A and B are shown apart, each in its own frame.
Chain A
């Protein structure tokens, strides 16, 4: 079972709202990721958690705040977003944190975010 579950699938929020995206995996994976994908573009890495600790932040604006409550859960807290932040937000996980051979990254179905 290679399943990463994301909720909600669709979210519309105003620029003054606070909302959260949630991600869950029960594969025992030790690395979890947030990616952002705009239309007709490849996914762009935002954050990486390794063993529940933030290991990579790709200079993401502070209006995006990740949280890893435990090894199975990953949240992305959203506050004061801009319309240009509208995109598909993808959560992913992999068995190990490092770039070892075959350390496959599995994606969830994504959360479509629209900021109005």
Chain B
């Protein structure tokens, strides 16, 4: 089983719709989860992090974490063409697997917001 799995997409949504991006992970010890946005040719930019079960909202973005089911999601409300990018989920290893300060990235989901 891969450490983290993401649907590579592309995920196409119309402008104004809700985009839902999902990520599943295998390391039950993982405590923090991060969502990065990466525009083509640019470096990853942090959007949100979450470490408690439930939802965390920041503007149009909502991160959802379910540790029992080992998935983390990112919802983008009122999607805009400027949201078109690759979204990477990432997390450091849990303490039980050796800890350390490594960040494991998913393969990324390409989002396309269409006019």
Q: Which A residues have a C-beta under 8 Å from some C-beta of B?
A: 31, 33, 41-43, 45, 48, 50, 55-56, 88, 90, 94, 96-110
Contacts and interface: CB of A to CB of B under 8 A. Distances in A.
A43 B100 contact: no
B43 A100 contact: no
Interface residues of B, number: 27
Given A88-B43, A102-B32, A42 B107 contact: yes
25 contacts: A41-B107, A42-B105, A42-B107, A42-B108, A43-B44, A43-B105, A90-B43, A96-B101, A97-B100, A98-B100, A99-B32, A99-B94, A99-B100, A99-B101, A101-B51, A102-B49, A102-B51, A103-B92, A104-B49, A105-B34, A106-B46, A107-B43, A107-B45, A109-B42, A109-B43
A42 B88 contact: yes
A56 B49 contact: no
Contacts of A56: 100-102
A57 to B, nearest CB: 11
B70 interface: no
A48 B100 contact: yes
- Of residues A42, A88, A100, A102, which shows the largest number of chain B Cβ atoms within 10 Å of its Cβ? A42
Interface in B56-90: 88, 90
Specify which of B34, B90, B100, B106 lies most central, judged by the most chain A CB atoms within 10 Å of its CB: B100
A55 B93 CA distance: 15
B99 interface: yes
A99 B43 contact: no
B43 A31 contact: no
Contacts of A103: 32, 92, 101
